[in-house]
Chains A and B, each alone.
Chain A
């Protein structure tokens, strides 16, 4: 698989935002568990399970072929985090930018486009 440099950078940019939190959460789970929405009974175990899913998503985005699904999921996830933690927007505003980057990736790999 040959990925153009600009797309590879885009993939790495989005993937990094999903790799760093689960790694940091191993040493300091309390700093990350607070981002779960109130309706989810958050726990350290759930945090790490979610972290494993984040890493899987990141690997799919970096190494996958048809990455419309993980890119769209990444965008939705990031925007959902911003929405449910609106009070912390001063920190989370960056997630909007990363979500838009993920949407760009999704657009590049829109199923109809890839079929052409």
Chain B
């Protein structure tokens, strides 16, 4: 009995440790948060900007981007696998506007403007999305749910 409990405790400690070390790698650290605020200092409305996020086998970089309403984020797949950018949570992608993938995706195309690529694309491709409302939007790669990031729209 005692042996089993000790094994259980050790296993839990190892798992929690591994989770913090590896599993939460999709979360940005302070140094990873980009300072890409192209319109932060603009006192009047300026032209929309495009911010690029690169997806590699290590995940999305920068993990967090700050943009303004109307700006476009371009996700470039430089990994060795497929990319399907979609709002959290996996796999329903409901956090952006409350609609699920089955509601806003049809035949690989987005039908209501939700933050969802709706199809997987091969390495070397890119996908752009223009944010039309403010908020902090977590996203992930639907083809590899452990990789994710955040777009902060102000």
On chain B, the number of residues with a Cβ less than 8 Å from chain A's Cβ atoms is: 30
A29-57 contacts to B, CB under 8 A, are 30-38, 41-42
The reply to whether the CB of B26 lies closer than 8 angstroms to some CB of chain A is yes
**Minimum CB–CB distance for A52 against chain B, Å:** 21
Check if B90 sits within 8 Å of A91, measured CB to CB.
yes
The reply to whether the CB of B133 lies closer than 8 angstroms to some CB of chain A is no
Known A88-B89, A90-B89, A110-B4; contact A34-B23, beta-carbon cutoff 8 A: no
Check if A34 sits within 8 Å of B148, measured CB to CB.
no
The reply to whether the CB of A60 lies closer than 8 angstroms to some CB of chain B is no
Give the docked Cα–Cα distance between A90 and B39 (Å): 32
**Minimum CB–CB distance for A114 against chain B, Å:** 14
The reply to whether the CB of B27 lies closer than 8 angstroms to some CB of chain A is yes
B29-64 contacts to A, CB under 8 A, are 57
Check if B4 sits within 8 Å of A86, measured CB to CB.
no
Q: Contacts of A116 on B, CB cut-off 8 Å?
A: none
Give the docked Cα–Cα distance between A107 and B7 (Å): 12
Q: Contacts of A38 on B, CB cut-off 8 Å?
A: 57, 81, 144, 146-147
On chain A, the number of residues with a Cβ less than 8 Å from chain B's Cβ atoms is: 26
Give the docked Cα–Cα distance between A28 and B90 (Å): 13
Known A34-B143, A82-B23, A86-B25; contact A107-B15, beta-carbon cutoff 8 A: no
- Grouping DSSP codes into helix (H, G, I), strand (E, B) and loop, the A interface class, with mixed when no group exceeds half, is helix
Check if A88 sits within 8 Å of B145, measured CB to CB.
yes
**Minimum CB–CB distance for A13 against chain B, Å:** 19
- 13 additional contacts, CB 8 Å, given A34-B91, A34-B142, A87-B148? A30-B120, A30-B143, A31-B90, A34-B90, A34-B140, A34-B143, A34-B145, A38-B81, A86-B146, A87-B24, A88-B89, A90-B89, A110-B4
Residues of B that sit less than 8 Å from A by CB = 4, 8, 11, 15, 18-19, 22-27, 57, 81, 84, 88-91, 101, 120, 140-148
Residues of A that sit less than 8 Å from B by CB = 28, 30-38, 41-42, 79, 82-91, 103, 107, 110
6 interchain residue pairs of minimum CB distance: A86-B23, A87-B26, A31-B91, A34-B145, A86-B24, A87-B148
